[in-house]
Amino acid sequence: MALDPKFRALLALPGMQLGRPPVEVTPAMMREGVKALASPLPPPPVHEVKNMSIKGPAGQIAVRLYYPTSVRPLPLTVFAHGGGWVLCDLDSHDNLCRALALASGSVIAAVDYRLAPEAKFPGPLEDCYAALTQLVAQASSLGLDASRVAVCGDSAGANLAAALVLLARERKGPAICFQALMWPVTDASCTSASYTSLGEGYMLSRDIMLWFWECYLASPQDASNPLAAPLREKNLAGLPPASISTCEYDVLRDEGEAYADALREAGVNVTSRRYLGMIHGFVSFPQVTEVAGRALADMGSDLAAALYAPT
């Protein structure tokens, strides 16, 4: 399918093509630029938003919980935001988390993990794991059901969510029953066919992905560590079911679909969808395409089906 014409017009606007930043542009400067481009759309109303702080491996970590209803206890979905491990924060993904809470019927707990390059691998992942373990430990007081826990994320956040599943297995808990991955980063090589054919001109470029990886990894050897690059994991058997979404015009498309295939080959139940005509992160542009709302509804439905399945 051809690129959605609405996105063709959007991509032609100044500043919509993300390439490797000039050396004089720091990650902190880029973060401020992202904030300046924040969506002016009104946030979807949810029953309650609770801001809390949990103890992380290098200090306090902010966590924002979105309660869709007054019902207690509710299932928990731990969410990691995208942004190449370098950009974005709780506010940049506020609307998305609200929509997912409403669509899934679960509490979305967004984790404000430390960003690269100030905190390199495995720092951001360890922050997410600390949040997961403490949220589960405090489930009763927070109105959460510790027996119904999922992880979710978009892009680099989906990388963290997938790695969180592997880390929880390695450390024997907490139990995770589902992983919802939106256009996940799963491999550091940046050599897939979609990187070749879609490496520039579709917002997220091969050049900036290479830069993101340089910011995130502490050493070249980390590129083969499955906790950094989940596609490198040789034993995927026994992992929780997954929902994996990809975008037709996205450099990350093939590695996300390769991870879905690898999970299936290991006997994991996987639902996968490729959104035709869409670019990376299109759910952040509901004002551009109605497919954004449909994709969030799809992911929310997958989470609900897993978290509300009869036991």
Beta bridge mates, 272 = 244
Cβ proximity of 45 and 51 under 8 Å: no
Is residue 250 part of the annotated active site? The answer reads yes
- If you search the block for the tokens 């990894």, which residue do you land on? 217
* Token pair for 222: 């980390």
Is 155 known to be catalytic? yes
Set 4, 250, 254, 298: catalytic member: 250
Pick the closest to residue 34 from 87, 112, 95, 96 (CA basis): 87
Angle at 56 between CA 281 and CA 304, to 5 degrees: 45
Beta-carbon contacts of 25 under 8 Å, excluding residues fewer than 6 positions away, are: none
Q: What are phi and psi of 137, to 5 degrees?
A: -65, -35
- 141 neighbors 107 (Cβ within 8 angstroms): no
- Set 92, 106, 155, 192: catalytic member: 155
Distances (CA, A) of 151 to 38, 71, 77: 25, 21, 5
Give one DSSP letter per residue of 237-272, joined into a string: TTPPPEEEEEEEE-TTHHHHHHHHHHHHHTT--EEE
Considering the candidates 92, 104, 194, 280, report the single residue annotated as catalytic: 280
**Among 204, 183, 51, 27, which residue's Cα sits nearest to residue 115?**
27
Other beta carbons within 10 angstroms of residue 59's beta carbon come to 9
Contacts of 65 (CB under 8 A, 6+ apart): 48, 49, 50, 51, 52, 107, 108, 109, 110, 142
The residues annotated as belonging to the active site are 155, 250, 280
